[in-house]
Amino acid sequence: MMKALCIFLFAGCGCDDKATGPDPDEGPIEDTLEPADRINWPGLDRANGRVIPFIRGFGNGRPAAYWFLGFASRKTSDSFWFCREGDEACPLDEHRRLDWDTIVGNPVFTQIPGLPDFSPFWQMWKVTVPADFEPNSVKNPDTLNRLKDAGDVTVEPLMTDFGDYFGEAAGVQETVLHCALVLAGTELEANGGEMPDGRGPSLVLQNRPGWFENHSIEFVDFSPSDGVFPEATDSENRPLMRFANIYIHWRSCDADPNPPICELENYAYTDRRPVSERGLGQDITGDGDSGDTNNVLGAMPCELLSLSDPDRPPELPYSPLWGPLAVSVLPESDSGLSLIDYYGDQALSDVQSADMIFQNVQDEACLEPVPMNEDETGNPIPGNEGRVFFNCPNPVPAEFAPFPCAS
């Protein structure tokens, strides 16, 4: 549904009344950053370059995985996509992916990691340009504002018909896109590698160029695997990103005998431990990495999950934005409920789906899942109202192109 949106693009910028020519290319964004700023950007610096880590878990009854890009806000930032007059389909193709054959030049982004209003989830604005428009001549919103005021381009929110979106009559809505701004050369770990459940190779995702305040930037285009999203149902003044559930298993350290992971040293909590190598910072499966968890995804891309209990509310549909829920295994079940810490194998667990979790709740093997709050994990992020949210997109099979998803 169209709403009256008020963004700085359409407020007076106090700039010159007319553009004097193409915006200058002021070099890569990395040239403007201090070394300490790198921590705000997705990825880890390793000997072979900067890598976004690949984390393994479970979902829909089988091994699954995701890339961990860090904490994220449900608030959306603004991005601008240039299309020629008369090209009504641009900037998306029929599968709701970015169509690079029709997009004119590189997009303009209004935020970068580290700024207080940054979000990797972008409201898409379509900029319609004339036939003689020079690609990449606009590199910042101020210039775009002047061209709009002069009547040289039109700027309007991109509206997409989402139809029946997993049982919701979503219809035509504003469009939210997931693009991860990254430092130059950042790579997704295991990009194009074997799917975690052995279904063959995963779809290779690409880095693309864009602009921020006349500086060149890179971003990972997740649209081939994510598509685009309708705004969240609780959006008000501007679109919010939808989120899905991810369940984080914890073991109590009050059992007798204690679970083996409770003997690990150098961990903040003394009364409990997450069944997660990433959470513990230690290799508990002995395979030489720290990417194995017993985290359970409540949804998978383009999959509707069947539930054994028809009275339980259905899972939210897939989103790369995850709201973590803590699942505490009861002490008397610590040794009876075998997860990856007992199996010592990243692909073996007694709990591989949200449905299994709620069966364990019914069987009194674990407590009801509860949302994880920001005070437990880090500094508050504007727009999240005290909850934690992670940006964790899933890999998909190489032949994956089913958008719009069947519902």
For residue range 177-197, what is the model confidence (pLDDT) as tens digits?
999 999 999 999 999 999 999
Token digits of residue 31: 């040239």
Token digits of residue 101: 């054959």
Map residue 94 onto helix, strand or coil: coil
pLDDT band at 9 (very low <50, low <70, confident <90, very high): very low
Map residue 277 onto helix, strand or coil: helix
Pairing of strands 49-52, 164-165: unpaired
pLDDT band at 5 (very low <50, low <70, confident <90, very high): very low
pLDDT tens, position by position, 71-114: 898 999 999 999 999 999 999 999 999 999 999 999 999 999 99
pLDDT tens, position by position, 337-363: 999 999 999 999 999 999 999 999 999
The enclosing H or E element of 294 equals strand 292-297
pLDDT at 3 over 80: no
Map residue 257 onto helix, strand or coil: coil
* Per-residue pLDDT, 150: 95
Using CB atoms within 10 A of its CB, is residue 28 exposed (0-12), middle (13-18) or buried (19+)?
Answer: middle
